[in-house]
Amino acid sequence: MSKIGPKNTTFKSRDEASMTEFVVRAKASYRKASGSLSWEEKVASIERMREASKTIRRARA
Amino acid sequence: MKEALVALNKACESGVIDGYAIGGAIGASFYIEAVNTEDVDAFVFLTPPAESALITLTPLYDELIRLGGVVENEYIRFGSWPVQILPAYKPLVEEAIFNAVEVLFGDIKTKVFTAEYLCAIALDTGRIKDYYRVAMFIEQSAVNLDELEVLVDRFELQERVRHVQNWPEKHNIQKPR
């Protein structure tokens, strides 16, 4: 499985436009990579999301 | 999730259920990018026992417990996945199970709703996250809008499509008077 995420993760500046552009690129990159995932891989990623959500909820409690 | 699918397949083979299909967010993830969810929605065809017209989930729960499931509130857990058993409770869902497609989850055969039925059921359920799911199908060109339009029309979901932000203009359906 290829690494999901934009290749260029450095910012020239932290202005809003640059951050927005980063988010758009990150989303496009994720979509492109996730489109090639099998169903099993997508379900595995949902399991990881669930675990991350549980960790966050525990930390907040 | 494999354990749950194996158990559902065995419940089908032993005749406890007449058929099943995966829907909800897990079913949708077959077609579109994954979205976080807490459970697996398994829609099932149940046959009422010969002596009764009432449909009961008890034989299916008993069978799934025998196959390794653990009952937790309204779910039955297999491994890390809680499975919600949802009987086919209306014609739209019955049709969706009947028309479900056979797919593989790893090396396990299972059935998943078609993209069009997943969207129609999401519209019928009508929560914000369901409308968002339909929008994702449209955005990712993962649904045949002409086929979905037929379902929207047949199951009188015309009002619901107004809640889908990116519902295409040409597919705006007028409710017949």
DSSP H/E element including A33 = helix A16-34
Chain B residues close to A34, C-beta within 8 Å: 33-34
For residue B177, being part of any structural domain is answered with: no
Say whether both B8 and B88 belong to one domain: yes
ipTM: 0.81
Instruction: Indicate the average pLDDT of chain B.
Output: 91
pLDDT tens, position by position, B50-109: 666 677 888 899 999 999 999 998 899 999 899 999 999 899 999 999 999 999 999 999
For the whole model, what pTM was predicted?
0.82
For residue B176, being part of any structural domain is answered with: no
DSSP H/E element including B57 = none
Give φ, ψ of B62 to 5 degrees.
-60, -45
Divide the 61 residues of chain A into consecutive groups of 10 and give the mean pLDDT of each group: 56 71 76 78 90 86 81
Contact state of B33 with A47 under an 8 Å Cβ cutoff: no
Q: Which residue has the tokens 């829609």?
A: B43
The tokens for A10 are: 């450095």
Q: Which residue has the tokens 């259920």?
A: B17
A13 Cα to chain B: minimum distance (Å) = 31
Say whether both B48 and B10 belong to one domain: yes
Residue A31: C-alpha distances to residues A5, A53, B82 (Å): 9, 21, 27
Say whether both B56 and B87 belong to one domain: yes
Report yes or no: B109 and B120 within 8 Å, Cβ to Cβ. no
